[in-house]
Structures are given as C-alpha cells and as structure tokens.
C-alpha cells in the first residue's frame, strides 16, 4: 500500500502546558483526522513494513521555532535521464534520478508513474536498485494503453502507455543514501523494449514523461490522480511528505492544466551499444567479358564505426554462377564491414558479366518494358547470355501487357530466388521461341496468356528448343479449358527436368 500525499505525524507534548497541548495538538488532530476521512482511498499509499512503519512519538512542542521550520516540506525533483540503446537486445534503458533542495534527505518510497509512446517502446521492468531499495506493489507495475498520445502529449500516434508502479526503501541496515542537493542521485533504472527492429539507432530519441502536470499541485494527467508521490525517511521512524517535481526526457511542457500538455523534443539522443555498423553497397552493374571487376573500378562499400571513432574494416568475397568468359556469368559480391567492437554488417553487389555487350542482364524490376525489365534484358542480350533476377523481386509478378516477347537467340533465363518469381501475360500468348534457337528457363513460375482464337494463348509458342528446369506452368484464369499451355510446333524440341509442373486442367 501507499501512504497519502499528506501524512499526519503524531506528536506527544511531554513538557508543554495542558492548555497549549489542547489548543495546538488536540483540535488540529481532530480537524486533520476529519479531513483524512473525507479523502480516504483517493490515492494508493506507500507500503510501510517492519521498523519503517513506526511514527514519531516524541517531538518538541509544536510551537517551537524548530518545529515551525519542519512544516515546510522538502522539494524533491525526479528526472528520467541517461538513455542508452542496446541493439543486440533491442533495449532502451533510462535512469531515474533525484535531487533535493534540503540536505540529508532519504527517499522512503515513490509512486513510479510515467507515460511513453506506445509506437516506439514497450515497458519491461525496473532494475538496478541499490541493496536497500526495491520494487513493491503493484509489482509488476500495471501498464495501461490510453488513446491520448496525440491529444495530450503530441505523439505521432494516438496510443500512449501509462505505467503505475512503486519503489520503496526495504532495509534500515544499509548505509543511508542521501539525495544530492547540487547533483543527481540515481536509485534505479527503467528498461523498455524498442518496437521497431530496424530503428535508426544512430539517431534514436524516445520520450518518457513523469506523471505530473506543469503545475505539480494539479497532480497527474489522469483526472483525480495525484500522479508521482514521493515520501521521505523520517529519522524517528516512518515517512514524511515532500513536494514533488519532475523533469521529462525528450519532451517539453507547453500547456498548464489542460491538453495538449506538451510535445516531444529531441534533446537527449541515446548512445548505442552492440550495434552493427551501417553499410552501403556500390550499385549493381553489367560489364563485358574482359572488363575489370576490381572494386577500384566497380565501387567499394562504405560504412561508419559507431562503436569507437574510427574506420570499419571493409572486405568482400565473390560467388560466381553461370559460365566463364566468353560465356556470360553473374558475380555476387558480398561486402562485410567490421567495427572496433567486433560487430559485422553485410550487403550484396551484383555484377553481371556479358559476352561482349554492355547490356544489363540482371532484371531489377517487374515492369513490362524499360530499363531493368525482363523484356529489356532479352532484347539487349547476346546469344549465349544468362539473364538473372535481383533478390528484391522475390514473390513478385512480372506482368506482360504490351506485346508478346520474342526469343530469337540462345538464352538462359534463370532464377534462384525464393519465394519464386512469376511471369504472367495479359495478352494472347507470352513467349515466342524462334526456330533453331535454344531457350532455357529455370526455377520460375509461368502463367499463360489469354485466348482469342485457336491456341494462341499458350505460354510458350515453340519453334525451336525449349528446356524447362524446375519450372511450373499455370493456366491463366482467362484461358479456356482445353487450350494449350505449351504449343510445340513441328521440328521443335521440348524437355522437362527437375521439379516441374504443368497445369493441364
């Protein structure tokens, strides 16, 4: 349980005159008890256990000058600070620190209440308490999502999460931790999970807002809630009240008493740890046999060392598929960047080597025509070239809508991409294979064209040699049942190998 924000400390007048005791103690005691009965249950109470539950039972006369000074509550300011981001665990950690305007004050307990952007973070736990402090009920803290992110706090998304927990001094045997009056005293940390696995760790800001309005006497942001409540250790036992202030992290107050209360402000970027260095590959290119493949000619990957100021170690390795010059082939160049902490990042550059042409034999988009399209690669390829597909085309459909594609030279059209790439026609027919030409398709899904007359909707109209390796041929939903999917003309040749499939019905 939590103690009310205003506490009654019992005082017994051992030496004061009877009339003074009656006037200064009994009457105020009755009034305060009456007021407390009116407000009972309006706010959770700091849990009191063991020796800390005893209230002071021997104070000087309430009229003494020393006692008058005690009537002014110390001001305790709590802030959320020192954010840091750990890439390997996707953790965002913030320290909770305190400052007092009065010397020799110890925190007894605190309602730990704060808000954050649900789109960026998820609360995990409190941690790093000194041995004399710990989390208390509600433990674990409650987390409530409220649709006030934009209207109250200026978050870009509507949902803000509200955390309601508590911490308290749990041992009187440890050395006292007095709150600094000219610096900050850390008592624990808050751990969050970063929602976005691809968050920009080199420019990461996240707001944490203590649950107190700009005018602390207004209490928390929720109606009827006192917000953050902090009590202090009473040297004679039990706890004493304080006046609370809070400093938010990466957020600023702009209003007082009514929404919007403020908005995010990127003031403290989280330093990051255990993060792989960013890496950017040079552009993929098409070259001719005999051209240089050295990075000095085709480009080098770039990176940055965010672990320790310096330059990452950049290396590469090549994987070649297809033939060797004078046959065309594809070089997959794998770049690696290693920072000073041993973290690694990778990217790939594709180098298509043609048989003397400078055309791009790597299909990089799903367009019907134009640079990077399948049609463009087929048109500019030389006989014997191999056409391949960029990995970014996985699970895409290349839709042919203008004219059928004529295959009038020996070509290899190969994919090793998963999920597989589809080539589909919205025309009567798809591929026309010229006589005496050999065409090989590998690991692609082919969807036939539509039909107007006869069997002109077939996916392949073959006058030459067609080889399908691991290819699946499907019927267009607009192609009537019974129409050919592969139309082999006299003198043509046709072979299937690997895990092929042809949808006959």
Whether 344 and 491 share a structural domain: no
Examine residue 234 and state whether it is found in any structural domain, yes or no: yes
pLDDT digits (tens, 9 = 90+) for 43-61: 433 333 333 333 333 333 3
Which among 163, 114, 112 has a CA at the least distance from the CA of 136?
112
Examine residue 422 and state whether it is found in any structural domain, yes or no: yes
Domains of the chain: total: 3
Q: What angle do CA 297, 303, 308 make, to 5 degrees?
A: 140
pLDDT digits (tens, 9 = 90+) for 431-446: 999 999 999 999 999 9
- Within 10 angstroms of residue 170's Cβ, the number of other Cβ atoms is 18
pLDDT tier, 328 (very low <50, low <70, confident <90, very high otherwise)? confident
Last-in-domain residue among 358, 375, 406? 358
pLDDT of 145 reads 97
Whether 393 and 445 share a structural domain: yes
pLDDT of 368 reads 94
E strand map for 201-238: 208-210, 230-233
Whether 96 and 223 share a structural domain: yes
Whether 308 and 408 share a structural domain: no
Examine residue 3 and state whether it is found in any structural domain, yes or no: no
Which among 318, 317, 311 has a CA at the least distance from the CA of 336?
317
pLDDT digits (tens, 9 = 90+) for 155-183: 999 999 999 999 999 998 889 999 999 99
Examine residue 454 and state whether it is found in any structural domain, yes or no: yes
Examine residue 6 and state whether it is found in any structural domain, yes or no: no
pLDDT tier, 71 (very low <50, low <70, confident <90, very high otherwise)? low
Please measure the distance between the N-terminal and C-terminal CA atoms of the chain and give it in whole angstroms. Answer: 73
State both tokens at 437: 């030409």
Task: Indicate yes or no: pTM above 0.95.
Answer: no
Cα–Cα distance, 466 to 494 (Å, whole number) = 5
Res. 198: pLDDT tops 90: no
pLDDT of 493 reads 96
The CATH number assigned to the domain holding 302 equals 2.60.40.10
Higher pLDDT, 255 or 310: 255
Whether 69 and 132 share a structural domain: yes
Last-in-domain residue among 298, 324, 358? 358
Examine residue 5 and state whether it is found in any structural domain, yes or no: no
Whether 310 and 434 share a structural domain: no
Average pLDDT over residues 77-93: 94
Q: Give Cα separations from 349 to 159, 242, 282, 361, 389 (angstroms).
A: 41, 62, 6, 14, 13
Whether 73 and 156 share a structural domain: yes
State both tokens at 165: 């927990």
Mean pLDDT, the chain, integer: 84
Domain that holds residue 97: 18-272
Whether 66 and 119 share a structural domain: yes
Examine residue 378 and state whether it is found in any structural domain, yes or no: yes
Average pLDDT over residues 92-101: 98
Task: Check if the beta carbon of residue 442 is closer than 8 Å to that of residue 386.
Answer: no
Whether 60 and 93 share a structural domain: yes
Last-in-domain residue among 358, 387, 408? 358
Cα–Cα distance, 120 to 195 (Å, whole number) = 5
Residue 363, H or E segment: strand 362-363
- What is the share, in percent, of the chain residues with pLDDT greater than 90? 64
Examine residue 4 and state whether it is found in any structural domain, yes or no: no
Whether 242 and 316 share a structural domain: no
User: Mean pLDDT lowest for which of 121-130, 244-253, 477-486?
Assistant: 477-486
Q: Give Cα separations from 370 to 255, 287, 359 (angstroms).
A: 55, 19, 12
Whether 109 and 129 share a structural domain: yes
Task: Check if the beta carbon of residue 125 is closer than 8 Å to that of residue 191.
Answer: yes
Whether 119 and 267 share a structural domain: yes
pLDDT of 309 reads 63
pLDDT of 43 reads 40
């Amino acid at each position: 349980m939590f103690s009310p924000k205003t506490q009654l400390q019992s005082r017994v007048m051992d030496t004061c005159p009877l009339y003074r005791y009656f006037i200064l103690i009994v009457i105020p005691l009755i009034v305060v008890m009456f007021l407390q009965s009116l407000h009972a249950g309006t706010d959770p109470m700091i849990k009191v256990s063991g020796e800390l539950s005893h209230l002071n039972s021997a104070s000087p006369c309430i009229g003494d000058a020393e006692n008058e000074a005690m009537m002014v509550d110390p001001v305790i300011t709590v802030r959320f600070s020192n954010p840091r981001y750990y890439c390997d665990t996707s953790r965002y950690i913030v320290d909770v620190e305190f400052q007092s305007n009065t010397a020799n004050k110890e925190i007894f307990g605190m309602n730990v209440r704060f808000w954050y952007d649900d789109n960026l973070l998820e609360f995990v736990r409190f941690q790093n308490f000194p041995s004399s402090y710990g989390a208390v009920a509600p433990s674990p803290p409650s987390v409530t999502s409220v649709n006030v992110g934009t209207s109250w706090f200026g978050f870009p998304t509507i949902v803000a999460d509200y955390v309601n927990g508590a911490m308290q001094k749990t041992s009187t045997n440890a050395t006292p931790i007095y709150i600094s009056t000219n610096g900050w005293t850390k008592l624990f940390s808050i751990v969050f999970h970063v929602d976005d696995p691809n968050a920009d760790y080199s420019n990461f800001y996240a707001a944490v807002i203590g649950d107190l309005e700009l005018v602390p006497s207004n209490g928390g942001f929720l109606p009827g809630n006192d917000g953050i409540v902090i009590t202090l250790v009473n040297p004679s036992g039990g706890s004493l009240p304080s006046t609370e202030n809070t400093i938010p992290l990466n957020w600023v107050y702009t209003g007082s008493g009514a929404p919007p209360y403020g908005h995010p402000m990127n003031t403290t970027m989280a330093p990051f740890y255990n993060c792989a260095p960013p890496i950017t590959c040079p552009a993929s290119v098409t070259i001719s046999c005999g051209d240089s493949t050295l990075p000095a000619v085709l480009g080098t990957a770039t990176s940055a060392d965010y672990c320790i100021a310096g330059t990452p170690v950049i290396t590469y390795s090549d994987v070649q598929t297809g033939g060797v010059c004078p046959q065309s082939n594809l070089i997959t160049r794998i770049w690696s960047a290693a920072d000073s902490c041993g973290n690694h990042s990778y990217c790939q550059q594709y180098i298509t080597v043609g048989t003397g042409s400078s055309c791009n034999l790597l299909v990089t988009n799903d367009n019907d025509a134009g640079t990077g399209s399948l049609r463009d690669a087929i048109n500019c390829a030389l006989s014997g070239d191999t056409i391949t597909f960029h990995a970014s085309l996985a699970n895409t459909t290349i839709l042919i809508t203008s004219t059928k594609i004529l295959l009038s030279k020996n070509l290899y059209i190969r994919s090793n991409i998963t999920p597989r790439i589809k080539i589909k026609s919205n025309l009567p027919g798809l591929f026309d294979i010229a006589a005496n030409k050999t065409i090989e398709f590998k690991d692609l899904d082919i969807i036939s064209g539509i039909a107007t007359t006869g069997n002109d909707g077939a996916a392949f109209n073959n006058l030459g040699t067609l080889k399908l390796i691991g290819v699946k041929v499907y019927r267009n939903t607009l192609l009537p049942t019974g129409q050919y999917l592969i139309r082999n003309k006299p003198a043509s040749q046709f072979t299937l190998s690997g895990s092929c499939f042809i949808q006959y019905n």
